[in-house]
């Protein structure tokens, strides 16, 4: 049955869905990495596709920007379409000094200034963590493919344009590797609905050093992350 935000047929999604923020990235992944990919949902142009990778059924769908947007799509995929594994494939801004542009970050945990996980948990702290099996598989694949990988805590920010610049230095001191805008929300939804989730990120910029990838480097880094993510999806 269609949901308010997804108009796919029952059974249209694979058990594992890769999720970039940008729906045109989902289209790019479907066209360049999957075989026989078909568009299965297009409400609000938040495109979702199902195809195969090395013969195994895999889906890819955009989740938009920020915790409210990704929470809606991940909730409906798990609850209404029976999705078991969600792998976010995104970008992040590094804050930790020894994180380099082009590194791939596997978000073992996700801190946040969002209140969503407190709302779920009587206002207590909830340690938003990824699924161990997905993480272990992704790290193994990254090593196999000689991709420079970092594993640790990220911070999912509600504000892209933060007025509190010193917060980034505090994150660095606490060992937080990088900032995204969704991981903590996706981990919370997965925990609530008993599914597995992982966030894999390319470092597109370094917030404290003011560095950014060129568009060629961005593409190369994205492609490296995608092969790691697709192998994780089928293993």
Q: Give the residue numbers marked as catalytic.
A: 205
List CB contacts of 106: < 8 A, sequence separation 6 or more.
130, 135, 138, 139, 142, 149, 150, 151, 198, 199, 200
Task: For the CB of residue 218, give the shortest distance to ligand HPA in the complex, in Å.
Answer: 11
Taking CB under 6 A as the binding criterion, the range among 28-36, 89-97, 105-113, 144-152 that sits at the site for ligand HPA is 89-97
Say whether residue 179 binds ligand HPA (CB under 6 A). Answer: yes
DSSP string, 170-200: HHHHTT--EEESSHHHHHHHHHHTT-EEEEE
Residue 107 contacts ligand HPA per CB under 6 A? no
Stretch that binds ligand HPA, among 29-37, 55-63, 80-88, 91-99 (CB under 6 A): 91-99
Q: Does 91 bind ligand HPA (CB under 6 A)?
A: yes
Task: By CB under 6 A, tell whether 149 contacts ligand HPA.
Answer: no
Among 93, 109, 185, 188, binds ligand HPA (CB under 6 A): 93
205, β-bridge pairs: 93, 212
Q: Residue 227: which H helix or E strand, with range?
A: helix 215-234
207 forms part of the interface with ligand HPA (CB under 6 A): yes
> Phi, psi (5° rounding) for residue 234?
-100, 0
Q: Find the binder of ligand HPA among 8, 61, 157, 213 (CB under 6 A).
A: 157
Shortest distance, CB of residue 114 to ligand HPA, whole angstroms?
Answer: 13
Q: How many residues belong to the site for ligand HPA (CB under 6 A)?
A: 11
Buried b (16+ CB within 10 A) or exposed e, 209-220: eeeebeeeebee
> What is the DSSP track for 32-51?
HH-EEEEEEE-GGG--EEEE
Question: Does residue 181 interact with ligand HPA by CB under 6 A?
Answer: yes
Q: Does 17 bind ligand HPA (CB under 6 A)?
A: no
Which of 49, 198, 74, 229 shows the shortest CA–CA distance to 135? 198
Chain positions 27 to 86 lying near ligand HPA, rule: CB under 6 A, are none
Contact residues: ligand HPA, CB under 6 A = 91-93, 157, 160, 179-181, 204-205, 207
């Amino acid at each position: 049955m269609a949901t308010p935000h997804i108009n796919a047929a029952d059974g249209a999604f694979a058990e594992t869905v890769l999720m970039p923020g940008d729906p045109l990235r989902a289209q790019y992944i479907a066209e360049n990495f999957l075989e026989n990919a078909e568009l299965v949902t297009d409400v609000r142009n938040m495109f979702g596709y199902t195809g195969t990778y090395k013969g195994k059924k895999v889906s890819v769908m955009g989740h938009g920007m920020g915790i409210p947007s990704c929470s809606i799509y991940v909730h409906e995929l798990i609850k209404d379409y029976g999705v078991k594994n969600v792998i976010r494939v995104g970008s992040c801004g590094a804050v930790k000094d020894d994180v380099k542009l082009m590194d791939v970050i596997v978000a073992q945990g996700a801190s946040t200034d969002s209140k969503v996980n407190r709302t779920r948990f009587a206002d207590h702290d909830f340690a938003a963590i990824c699924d161990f099996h997905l993480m272990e598989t992704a790290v193994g694949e990254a090593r196999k493919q000689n991709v420079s990988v970092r594993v640790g805590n990220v911070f999912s920010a509600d504000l892209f344009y933060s007025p509190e610049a010193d917060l980034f230095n505090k994150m660095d001191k606490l060992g937080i590797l990088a900032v995204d805008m969704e991981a903590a929300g996706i981990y919370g939804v997965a925990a609530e609905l008993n599914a597995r989730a992982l966030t894999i990120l390319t470092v597109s910029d370094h917030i404290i050093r003011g560095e950014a990838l060129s568009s060629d480097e961005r593409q190369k880094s994205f492609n490296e992350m995608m092969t790691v993510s697709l192998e994780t999806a089928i293993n």
